[in-house]
Amino acid sequence: MRTRAEKFAGLSVAIVTPFRDGQVDYDRLREQIDFQAQAGVTCICPVGTTGESPTLTHDEHMRVIAESIQAAAGRVLVMPGTGSNATAEALRLTKYAAEIGADAALVVCPYYNRPTQQGIYEHFRALAESVDIPICVYNIPTRTGRNIEPETIQRLAELPGIGMVKEATGSMDQASQIISSTDLTVLSGDDSMTLPLLAIGARGVISVVGNIVPADMLALINAFESGDMPTARRLHFQLFSLCRDLLGLASNPIPIKSAMAMIGRDSGDVRLPLVCLEPSLQAKLASVLRGYGIKLRQSQPA
């Protein structure tokens, strides 16, 4: 079954924002995007949760979007995060992204101020009716404090500008209700839920683990799409512990940035109030990476 934003089916990677000496490292950002383009991913998603958007200044946020579009150079789609808990701010960022060539906008549910379902609907409607790129509704209630109820997403699906849902509720029932009642393109927002969600009609994933092993996540999706369920299941279980620990040892993106440093693709520290992994968790992460078969650079925790 074809969905509304089918060109975003497959693997999108929520890329990190590299820092060096407290500033955004744009050279390393371009290297990260080259890595993803060479891996053959469908799309990159800068300045989302993984990209530490809450601690970027407005100017940095906008420049990362612009630099990402320029570095992608048409090789991959670009779907930057443009959400905010203020509709006016989300509208400003989304319009900016559309004007400079983004292919879509990833918009998180407004957080902290806990809008009603009607308020959530009006927020996304204002964005969808103001730009000509598709909006991906990002539903992650563990971070926002609000679930976008399936009935609200069904209403949003009536708007042509709403194209996708990044499903990070952890609820297969909610995902099933959305997939069965709309033509929206549903993308997993949780790496370890990718195969279960594909099985009920999702079309891909916006991945964190794809920062380090995009080929394996691509292989899982391709195996499923070709009907090779034994291979898809094998890759699901192979990736499971890596996905679990990259998202479970500490708040995202702390573990993925630590992992990237361990494999020689250092993207710098996280910004306060996030802090680096403590030594015991670094040792656990190193063990997980070794167990997966990922080669680490020298001088890693035992």
And the tokens for 37?
């383009």
Q: Which of 96, 138, 257, 284 is catalytic?
A: 138
Strand partners, 135: 105, 162
Q: HSE-up of 72 (CA within 13 Å, CB side)?
A: 27
Is 166 catalytic? The answer is yes
Judge contact between 136 and 125, C-beta under 8 A: no
**In sequence order, what DSSP letters do the residues of 25-54 get, joined into one string?**
-HHHHHHHHHHHHHHT-SEE--SSTTTTGG
Residue corresponding to tokens 């099985």: 199
Judge contact between 131 and 160, C-beta under 8 A: no
Phi/psi of residue 7, each to 5°? -65, -15
Q: Which of 96, 166, 284, 292 is catalytic?
A: 166
The set of residues, in sequence order, having a beta carbon less than 8 Å from that of 48 and lying 6+ positions away, is 14, 80, 81, 106, 108, 138, 206
Strands (E), 142-280: 162-167, 185-188, 204-207
The amino acid present at 195, given as its one-letter code, is L
CA distances from 178 to 164, 197, 302 (A): 11, 12, 45
Give the H or E element holding residue 23.
strand 23-24
State the Rg of the chain over Cα: 18
The amino acid present at 243, given as its one-letter code, is C
Is 138 catalytic? The answer is yes
Q: Which residues are catalytic?
A: 138, 166
